Chain A
Amino acid sequence: MNLTEDQIFALAPDESSKKSGRELANPSKWVSKAINEKALWGECQGSGSKPYQTQIDIIDIAFKCSCPSRKFPCKHGLGLLLLYARQKNDFKISPAPAWVEDWISKRGGKQESKTEKAEKPVDEAAQAKRQQARQKKVNDGIEELLRWIKDIIRNGIISIPEKENAWFENMARRMVDAQAPGLAGMVRNLGAVNFFSEGWQTSFMDRLLRLFMILQGYKNSDDLNESLLADIRAAIGFTQNQEELKEHKGVNDTWLVLGKQITEEDNLTTERNWLFGTNTRQYALVLQFLIRGQGAQYALTPGQVMEAELVFFPSAIPLRAIIKSQMNASIPLSVTGFGNWQEVGAFETELTSKLPFRNERPYIIEQLTPVWHNQQWWLQDNQSAIMPVKAGFVNIWTVLSLSGGAPLHMAVIGKEKEYEPVGVWYNNEYKII
């Protein structure tokens, strides 16, 4: 396990956890601490009479602590991991005590019990009936949404900025009722356009047309291939049974976590982890949905390198994936990315031809230099081609400072004509931006 301090801090749920974790990265706070090939553990003297027992699964990074904190990972987990990153030699290698062994073996057991659960017989008739009912609801919802979109186009989008949020929310709720949560999210996304910004019209139309293509695609399902249909169904909100998905053979690789984007809505936190397979040069998106107070299934942090088998969701351009198994974390490797923007453009064109309504995705591009022109920042490749940096990207100064005017290998996320750096290779180390 070779997590840097920045990577460990990136696991923290909030700023105060970072601070508290840092304080606990102090040998004097730990009554005992040790490591073996599977786990890292320690006992931290807290305010109670008994020390808290903190344990970390270092293969498939996960935390457990006996403290009452609802945060995940808690400050003790972060502190222990930080202490290990700082003073590896202070951790003696020893057999795990019972409380660690129990947890590690239970984690293994959980996977098995999930499989057993899946093997229970399913009432196929009832399931078919449920599916039919849903299908009907979705079909009705789609017809309603199409009418709504056509009304917008008939009347013109010029009056859209005057619409209140409730106007979009109302239609989004209708889509929830129609059991099409994906469409509901896309309708809300329409209302989330910044109508005060220049070019809102294109932004709005892009979203509206993407929605229209999905609806039309679904209506013409019979003519579509299986993988494209899977994309459309996923966009509408049909879920894929992840246990079933895990039955498929995945892609084994040494995966580098390029970046993590976190969004929060109500009580739901969505984690978008962007991965890159260093051997297959395949990109992946691992989503995690966290309800407040609950721990994440995987503790992924930018810059982390892991040997893992990823199973991709069926798609015309597979990107979203789940982690089927995670093996030993390994040392970071050198990576090979795209040589220039033209290569990225050609790849984007190929992707668009396969999936017309796709979203942004990551790219590793070699030798990019930030340049300032026409009141905005651009990323220039070694062929002097330039691409705009996403407007409002606040960390451009860090990129610029690391670059010092020299080209850097960069990981960016974006599409079409806007990209945002998420990490750079500086002195052979992947630095999170």
Chain B
Amino acid sequence: MQFWNQIIHTALLGTDKKQLVPAELGPVLSAIAEEVAPQPASKEEQFLQIASLAFNYRLAGVTVLQKKEFTISTAVVEEKEYCSAAATRVLKDILLEESLPLLKFWLQACQYKKRLVTPDLLPVILKTGAAQKALQQVIIDCGGKRAEWLSQFNTDWKFSSGISREELWQTGTPEQRRVILQQLRKEDPAMALEWIQQTWPQEDANTKADFIKILLISLSENDITFLERLSNEKSKKVKDEALALLKKIPTSSIVQQYWNIIKQSLLVKKEKALLGMVNKTVLQVGHPSSIDETIFKTGIEKLSNNKEFTDEDYIAYQLMQNIPLSFYEAQWQLKPEEIIDLFQKNSASKRFLPALVLSIVHFSDERWAIFFMQYCTTFYTDIIPLLPVKQQEYYSNKFFTDQPENIIHHATQREHEWGPELAASILRHAAKSPYQYNRSFFNQHIHLIPFAIAAELERFTPTDDGFRVMWSNTSGYILKLLSLKIQTLKAFNE
């Protein structure tokens, strides 16, 4: 469009500086422009008239590009069926509500029923998946071939591209590689370790540190050799992460080193009691004769920060946090209840009970978590997540009145719905603290609230006038979310 460029060029400079020469407009326009030229009173008007003519010439002469070579691949026909109209409707409502837990709930239901999200909603779901890594796998399953096809046009949606894990591991973004490694580590820990080792020399320090963190999934003694080799890494961050993992493997040399120190300090003795009529077993927590100074480079503090503990006791306390409790069973040939009893029998050793709790949490020792709950006279909420669901429910209900905040904290970490009693306790407590337990709290945790509680919400109305109104609003909101939850279930079970 040479003629139009001339118009723009003249317009930019202004008619004071440049005049439009009709001959520059090409053969067709110049002839007509010549006719216009002599008539107007001013050069501006002459320009405007010729430009108006050219403008219409341009508009009227639009030619479309013929490009046969421009093609687009066609999406493969789906193998699964699309979800029902009712399910799509609920999904739209959930998206309108901006509730990620409900979206996850819906997608999981869709995944379970082997159905697909309809194409009109796929872009918004893929966009969510790009930001919410945890939803990616379920989105891949519910996105079907169409999502796979769409991913080639949008780099943010590559996670649904359907290309092999290995290829994505080699060529993907750091975030995609992390997601893949997490998945593989769950399914095949040895293979995940192998993949890490293959590309290890090419990774930078931050990526290495991230990958080590992922090894926490399915951590086992098979990882020791690799992790111990990392003590030669240049990056302190990488070394620290590796050491943190080694401390979680009972057979690692660091845990063994700790154990060798602490087992000298813990003495189980048989003593006479009741004028020598009865034998009793007591635990003495002493001090090791010598401490290998290298442990202080592994995160063990030399000086106590707690006035109830001497420096030596404090070192013992820290070491005990890093010793699996099964070691005591083997060393002393005692049953778990006897070991717990030993510790809680006298005040000197009882001080170390929290270290045992920290050890259970540190090693995610589910077996000992059950024993501890059963035989310890003190209740430690930190153990709750390690218990089987039924026991979590039981102990949460039992100790709710004493430690409501802690119980609620652990309850929100669960994946399974709360039981009716626990849900009632939590909601009753929440109704009295509307600022802390607001709409956002219930939005985040709606997947945990059972639908059966809907009929009881009114019962939890607090007596305080101000809070009553707030609870009325909040419970209305909970009802709305619960209704979406039940609609999801219905839609997929129709």
Contacts and interface: CB of A to CB of B under 8 A. Distances in A.
23 contacts: A5-B92, A149-B44, A153-B11, A153-B48, A154-B16, A155-B16, A156-B14, A157-B11, A201-B11, A206-B55, A209-B48, A209-B52, A348-B60, A371-B70, A385-B64, A386-B64, A397-B154, A400-B123, A404-B149, A405-B74, A405-B75, A406-B75, A417-B62
B72 A426 contact: no
Contacts of A404: 74-75, 119, 146, 149
Interface string A366-389: 000111110000101001111100
B72 A370 contact: yes
Contacts of A401: 119-120, 122-123, 146, 150
B63 interface: yes
Contacts of B47: 153
B17 interface: yes
B7 interface: yes
A336 interface: no
Most A-side CB within 10 Å, residue of B7, B55, B96, B154: B55
A342 B63 CA distance: 8
A191 to B, nearest CB: 17
A370 B71 CA distance: 9
B97 to A, nearest CB: 7
B7 A205 contact: yes
B4 interface: yes
Contacts of A205: 7-8, 11, 51, 55
A169 interface: no
A353 interface: yes
Interface string A391-430: 0000001101110111000000001110000000010000
A19 interface: yes
A388 B289 CA distance: 82
B480 interface: yes
B67 interface: yes
Contacts of B92: 5
B48 A149 contact: yes
B42 interface: yes
A22 B56 CA distance: 49
A416 to B, nearest CB: 6
Nearest to B479: A23
Given A353-B60, A384-B68, A372 B93 contact: no
A405 B149 contact: yes
A201 B12 contact: yes
Contacts of B64: 341-342, 345, 385-387
Top 3 A-B pairs, shortest CB-CB distance? A156-B14, A404-B75, A405-B74
Given A349-B62, A400-B153, 6 more contacts: A5-B89, A22-B96, A23-B480, A154-B15, A349-B61, A386-B70
B65 interface: yes
B28 interface: no
B422 to A, nearest CB: 27
B45 interface: yes
Interface in A137-191: 149-150, 153-158
A150 B45 CA distance: 7
A153 B74 contact: no
B66 interface: yes
B153 A383 contact: no
A158 B12 contact: yes
A112 B483 CA distance: 47
Most B-side CB within 10 Å, residue of A5, A153, A205, A212: A153
B277 interface: no
Given A201-B8, A404-B119, A356 B45 contact: no
A202 interface: yes
Contact of B150 (A154, A210, A400): A400
Nearest to B55: A209
Interface in A320-351: 341-342, 345, 348-349
A149 B48 CA distance: 9
A213 B8 CA distance: 17
A210 to B, nearest CB: 8
A402 B119 contact: yes
Contact of A356 (B56, B66, B120): B56
Most A-side CB within 10 Å, residue of B49, B66, B483: B66
A150 B120 CA distance: 50
Interface in B30-47: 42, 44-45, 47
A431 interface: yes
